[in-house]
Structure 1
Amino acid sequence: MDSARDHWRLMMNNWLSRLTSCRKHRKGRPVLGGLLLGWFLTFAAAAAPVTLNLKDADINALVESMSVLTGKNFIVDPRVKGRVTIISSKPMDERELYEVFLAVLGVHGFAAVPSGNTVKIVPAAGAKQESIPTVDGRRVIEADQIVTRIIQVQNVSVAQIVPILRPLIPPQGHLAAYTPTNVLIVSDTAANVERVASIIGRIDLASNEEIEIVPLRHAPASEIVRVLGTLEQNKVKGDQAPVGTPPRMVADERTNSILLSGDKSSRVRLRTLISHLDTPVSSSGNTQVVYLRYAKAKDLVNVLQGVSKSLSNEASLNTPAGGPGGQGAPPPGGGSSGGGGLVDIQADEATNSLVITAPPELIQSLRTVIAQLDVRRAQVLVEAIIAEISAEKTAELGVQWGVGGNNAIGFTNFDVGNNSLANVLGVGRNVRSAIIDDNSVLSSTLDGIPKGLQLGVGGSGFGLLLSALAKDAGTNVLSTPTVVTLDNEEAEIVVGQNVPFVTGTYTTSTTSTPNTSNNNNNSGLQSGGPFQTIERQDVGITLKVKPQINEGNAVKLEIAQEVSNVVPTATAATQGPTTNKRSIKTKVLVENGQVLVLGGLIDETRSESAQKVPVLGDVPVVGNLFKYRDTNRLKRNLMVFLHPVILRDPAQSTLYTSDKYSYIRDQQLAARQRDTDFLLPGEQSPLLKLEQEVQRQGTVLNIPPPVRPAPPPTAERAEKPVERLQEPAVSAPAPTAPPPRPAADAESAEFGFGNR
């Protein structure tokens, strides 16, 4: 056996010398391949370890020979070129030769990538993009084989490990972190991947960091964290920088406690410092001034006093009665270490601030409450839309007769006010005498003539009066009172007149000295002149509103809406004026920016009356000469709508202000174009300035106004007459009931309509 090995060794040395000489020949590569093939076949037949030495051999010939030896199929990338040198002094078997082959490929920048039954020889830079095998660490594989391994990290964040491992991965390798599952993906040679996994195993150790909560009794948590944070920062900057992760501290102001995170030694050290700092102050309390931004200081005093009582009682219950070192004894000054000492809260209206005297822990709690109450409150723009359309038609027609003589007199005097034959004929005589005698009393005499056509004919013993009146009136009123108020604050706007109303009439009586010179029994009482008591009331449009913004965009509104006007009547001089009143008082819930109907009335009435002479008035055709007929029809539509808008920030307030400002200015411009004052040709009507001129700052908030539902009315629209209601075909429709009015749950609502 030894002689056979010596024989094959001698043959291989002879072939190796010939391999080296093949470089000088032009067709050295085929010769080299044939020599290597013969050598490996001979070696395989011998099945004995071999000492391999190659010098400047073609790498492709080495791949071909390795295919014959291992029985593997190789696919060589065209970019795989070069010459290799192998120096070995130790015999190697088949497995060791393949490992040497993979190492040679790696040294020259190539890699072997298994793919099914074949092995791809490709440049190492692109090997990670091939179908390289994925291993889990338990499978034995060649050290220079390109593999991919997914490493699960348990205790450390992969984002912290990647910068540490990046220098250990060659450029042709790959290292990536997947943070959702905290894993690392490594692609490189099996040996390097195993080395990286070993390093991760030493880093990925369970930490002794824990989180603990340290409650405080006296000092504010935020102040303690600030002091300790400054101390730790100075240690990090100095020579005593801590080893490992520095401790972290977070203040929880709600429970007045500190959350500590770090290793055990750091937490023990910080806990000791906190216990020394969390001690009661020498006095029973201290005084601080808290300046408010939005809330009113006077309104917060009662709230804070109630909160301080509750906090003081809770602190007194949590304070231990005694203990080692006399902790249960009150501190000097008569206060209570548990927060039950003297608490005094005063409001300074001049500076809108609060002056608080209380223990430190109580002041910190009160400051937290103040910060939550002193916030910018939203505003609500409430626009009430009142639309009223009414139409009235009246027709009167009648004939009156009069006959007089020496023995008898007769009239047909119907109950139509001043439309009587006697009155009209009397006024006619007065008019005649006024024209002939004195024109100065003509105007006062004509005031007694009733409206309409009054035609009278008569003689010495006969008279006739024909009365005819037709009235057609229509109104179309649209008013939109608008008011802006804070959340939960009542606002009121009144647009109208302050009208006097007579509330009482009195007659005074005076006492005088009795007269004894005559026989008259005078009691001494004399009546004085009468006088009246007058009360002035607002007549016009009144809007009272108190909004409450709920969670989201809903607004609860307490609304009191009233529209009133004075009606001219004949009894106004003696009994006072009569007013038409339309009022709504309710509570509703409406979404922000939505339009909601508050209430209304749809009313239609028709009245007919006839006065006639019995028997004569019933005669066909001729009976109309002995009748007086009056027909009246009134149709009225009244609706009140509501449009609230929440203004949460200054930008929204500026938006709606700009819209209203521009609308009024457009109306003034339209009115100025219609003005034709020939008496003062150089004068112009007043006009608002441009919005940019109103701003006093250098920058102007340029917010485009919102698109209105309809453009501002022009001159043509303003001069267009009001369209009247058309007469329905029905003769006497019944009045319809008012539409239902919305109201909030369990809330009362009131609606009124009529005369006063």
Structure 2
Amino acid sequence: MTARSPRSAPPRLLPLLVALLMLPVTPLQAQDVPKPAPAKRGSGMSGGTPVTVNFVNADLEAVTRAMAAMLDRQILVDPRVKGVITVYSEQPIPVRDAWLQYLSALRGLGFTVVETAGLLKVLPEPDAKLQAGTVSVGEVGARGDQVITQIFRLSNENPNNLVAVLRPLISPNNTINANPGNNTLVITDYADNLARIGKIIAALDQPSATDVEVIPLKHAIASDLATLVQKLGEGGPAAAVPGLPVAGNTVSVLADARSNSLIIRAANAARLASVRSLVERLDRPGVGGPAGQINVVYLKNADATKLASVLRAAFGGGGGSSGGGSFGSSSTGTGMAQTGAAGSAGATVATTPVSQSAQPSTGGFIQADPATNSLVITAAEPLYRQIRSVIDQLDGRRAQVFVESMIVEMDANKAAELGFQWQGLLGNNGNRFGLLAGTNFSSGGNNILNLSVAGASGSTTVAPGTGLNLGLLQRVNGTYTLGALARFLENVSGTNILSTPNLVALDNEEAKIVVGQNVPFVTGSFTNTGTSGSTVNPFQTVERKDVGLTLKIKPQIGEGGVIRMTVFQENSSVVGTTLTNQNGPTTNKNSLETTIVADDGQIMVLGGQMKESYTDGENKVPVLGDVPGVGNLFKNSSRERSKSVMLVFLRPVVIRDAAAASMLSLDRYEAIRAQQAAEQPTQKMLMPINESPVLPAVPPKGQATPTAPATPKN
């Protein structure tokens, strides 16, 4: 760097500037600057004589060398840092201000400075986030265009919510990350920008709600009033973006059935006071008389008919009008109903009659309406409160169980065969008698006699067996015959089948999945013979059965996530060689039925079979086949070994809420979509079809899902 006045540099600085500009800068090598006088290292940043800088289109390395001399610090320069830079001032300025101008000029060129282990490094901006050594917690202390890492600890706000807000304010090459574990944000960016972001975070990290308030109710039912207050409490000005909540208007209302109280949390004190006033006005005694004793409860999760039976049994209500707390008689209708005077047990008559078969069969003071999945309860206020408390506890969202099943089947077979066969005719031409001697084993194409006859007659129906066949031919009366045959064979085969049926079942409900074929099996036949002996009206009775993979489960979730599950698994297949049998095909079947207890996410092995067999066979000529060495020419040996394994594994996962169900479904959806994209056919110019269907991408929340599968573009 050259320090000089706007028109001319002071005479005492000219030799120093000339020497600095003549020295080369070695990339990634510390620039040691001679100290003009003994001083504390690095003291030039905070004090010293003001300087006037005037670098116009100067070499960047030379300016960096000058800045190192002014700061009395070592600066490393990345080899990729090249170019010219302009840094100037009209009047003397402190060294710190000159350094800040230098950092700003570097930033305009796409470079920056980071500090690591006491050294300053000049490097391209995209690499700064990987080498930034300065890490601060709390308030931002550094200033300027130097890249540092800052950790912000949040007290109230969720860090994931702030990432979307702060990301546009950070340089594209720098990073922001949220750590929900300790509620912090980790941001790497320029120091000046981090100071601005720190002020924004401090303004956003404010308590979003007042203290929780519990309001006991005197007359109303907490669960009934909670829904109404929640809807009314969320009212207010329209949101700027449809579908997003209005800031400052969030109200959370929960019902405590045990104490018949409302638990309310609002965004501010004024909102809380408004909700409290609304609750006081709604908490009034109900209408007296019979009309006030009839209540309709709409269920969210439970089945109305089943719950009505449970409640009648729990509260001693019998069938018909004999249930405790019931009065009068009623008939269901679809039109307007007329009711007797208040205070009297009058009858209710529907203006539009409904057939008896359309009416629910339940009776008593708790009536179920399957059409709307609701309960009509006729009871006095104290009894209704008890019934409603039980309903709130039973009408909860039932958990589900996602079951991953893995069925592994492996077969390995290995066979070997070694044998010699020979045939010969002993005797001279013209002799009346001769001797035929030889050995032959096996049958078909493995037999030497069959091959000899086929060769002599020119037949092609008999062919040599598989493996290596070595034969010795001899010519008799112009015809070639097979005199000796050596056969060598080794056969290795194996299968590996993995089936992974998946199934979701509701807690304490049975679920079943079948993957296979519906195969017909003949169970009987009838033939009627006419007077002329011809068959008249023949017919067969056929029963179709599922052949393939069947998985049936019934889970029951206990406290602590322990799952008790009844499992039935069957894997069957039709033997292909028996399809034309007169008595019908034969099926292979492996089935398993058991009851297990497993933890959430635990992999369990349900059972299986491991089978291994070994067969050793030998055909030989007596005595001759036992002669060492030579005996191999008089025998045929075979060995076979087979091994089969079948195991069934199962992994249950509890799904307790909609978020977990959505996450699991999205995970499976994306896995199938990625597999479809990876298995696209290879594009060929001469083939008109170069793509296969792919599931559409999951749209952002609030948008409709495409109905047709996406098709990749060429």
- TM-score (normalised: structure 2): 0.46
- TM-score (normalised: structure 1): 0.44
Which protein, 1 or 2, shows the higher relative CO under an 8 Å CA cutoff with sep ≥ 6?
Answer: 1
Q: Larger helix proportion, structure 1 or 2?
A: 1
Greater gyration radius:
1
